[in-house]
Amino acid sequence: MIPLIVRLPPAVILVGGLGTRLKSVVSDRPKAMAVVAGKPFLTHQLEWLHTNEVGSVLLCVGYKGQQIVDYIGDGSHLGLVVSYSWENTPLGTAGALAKAMELLPEEFLVINGDTFTTLPLGPLWEAHHHNGAIATLAVTTSEDSSAVGGIELAADGRITSFREKESGAQLVSMGIYAISRRIATFIPKKRPCSLENDVFPYLPSLYGHVAKEPFIDIGTPTGYLAADVYLSRLGE
């Protein structure tokens, strides 16, 4: 049998945040440009997307975003086509996505700017299509859901509970999503607003895709140091 070739859509990386939790160790640059294992964290994310055969990336930039533009440019040195959506004031993850919506196709991937994983994206995209979902979240097991979004799934993969940063959930959001433009209808007009708090809990068609791969959130000093160790070993 000939294997199915999954054609992946453009990816959006949300890198416009202020990085408040990380400022004690990274204060002179946006969080995405924090040096991890010898190069900016964003470079690790873009290389991972390229490995997954994602060809086009839209970066939602804000705080100190010119540093990102100056370093990444058009992405050609990474084998990617990179473009930008600017926010002049903090819009939150949902607000940034809403502003970028006119630049996006009917379906796309979204990655939080502080997340790294080796997750293959093809199965996530296939699950999203299979369920006809508005959004499908990559989720994985965790012993502590207090630091990230806790997830509860029904047997068919539908998300029945989305608990942002509460303890007790066995599954957590990895900050990686497959999304349809239909989500625009559910993004509130207020700014800033959050995908995790203001949008996902209210979607009528929200699914989870369970992954076995772990992920690292560099948004805290502890996570930042852990990512440096992990990615250094990964590159050996």
**Domain for residue 150, yes or no?**
yes
| pLDDT for 147 | 57
Which domain does 108 fall in, by range? Answer: 11-234
**Domain for residue 131, yes or no?**
yes
Cβ-proximal residues to 165 (8 Å cutoff; 6+ apart), any chain: 145, 146, 147, 148, 149, 150
| pLDDT for 145 | 47
> What is d(CA 71, CA 30) in angstroms, rounded to the nearest whole number?
12
Q: What is the pTM (predicted TM-score) of this model?
A: 0.91
Q: What is the pLDDT along the chain (236 residues), one digit of tens a residue?
A: 334 445 799 999 999 987 677 766 777 788 899 999 999 999 999 999 999 999 999 999 998 999 999 999 999 999 999 999 999 999 999 999 999 999 999 999 999 999 999 999 999 999 999 999 999 999 999 865 455 668 899 999 999 987 755 555 689 999 999 999 999 999 999 999 999 999 999 999 999 999 999 899 888 888 888 888 989 988 76
124 three-state secondary structure: helix
What total of structural domains would you count in the chain? 1
**Domain for residue 3, yes or no?**
no
CA distances from 55 to 8, 41, 76, 169, 204 (A): 8, 19, 10, 35, 30
Q: What angle, 0 to 180 degrees and rounded to 10, lies between the N-to-C axes of helices 41-51 and 65-72? A: 50
Catalytic residue among 39, 99, 165, 189: 165
User: Is 165 a residue of the active site?
Assistant: yes
Q: Residue 81: which CATH number? A: 3.90.550.10
Rg (CA), the chain: 17
**Domain for residue 62, yes or no?**
yes
| pLDDT for 31 | 87
**Domain for residue 2, yes or no?**
no
Exposed e or buried b for every residue in 87-116, given b needs 16+ CB within 10 A? Answer: beeebbbbbbbbbbeeebeebbbbbbbbbb
**Domain for residue 207, yes or no?**
yes
**Domain for residue 4, yes or no?**
no
**Domain for residue 99, yes or no?**
yes
